[in-house]
Amino acid sequence: MKVVKLIVGLGNPGSKYEGTRHNVGFRVIDELAVRWDVDISKEKFHAWFGKGVICSEPAVLLKPTTFMNRSGQAVVAVGRFYQLEFSDLAVISDDLALSPGCLRMRPSGSAGSHKGLQDIVNRAGTEDFARFRIGIGGAIGDAADYVLSRFDEGEETTIERVIARSAGAVECWITHGAEETMNRYNGMDNA
């Protein structure tokens, strides 16, 4: 099966990081895997991954196991193996600058202050790939401690909704492209 799309969720591996703000990208991959019955338990390319069909398109779901700041290692390895174009790459990450529950999709752009996105840009040599940014709220105190903290009960309800909405946005991107996805999903804060 020729792979057409690579969907990457950023996060940190291990039970210590499950449910943290920094791992919302992993949670969207888990949601897509359930929706489309894709087994993402294989370990290869410094990642957990699985191949399947999402919205009638062959795709790979990927959760890098290299820790956030070296996410590009897995992304570039899979891209080379499947000979993918970066225009067929979508990366899902957390974003401190967006309020919890806010979702923003862009077809390209800078990594901002996100070290996982920056590593992908550095290793890939391009900013021309789709990114889905999920708001986790502004840091209270040390940013590193904040992104590794868990959501409180009220925030978790909001985050569960944005995880489902983000999976829908990825599906829209696969079937309708970036412009339609931005029109449908950007600006739907806390919905």
Active site residues: 22
Which amino acid is residue 132, in one-letter code? Answer: F
Exposed, middle or buried: residue 179 (CB in 10 Å: 0-12, 13-18, 19+)?
A: exposed
The answer to whether 180 and 130 are in contact (CB under 8 A) is no
CB atoms within 10 A of CB 125: 10
Helical spans, DSSP H, in 83-152: 115-124, 143-147
d(CA 77, CA 60): 12
The answer to whether 109 and 131 are in contact (CB under 8 A) is yes
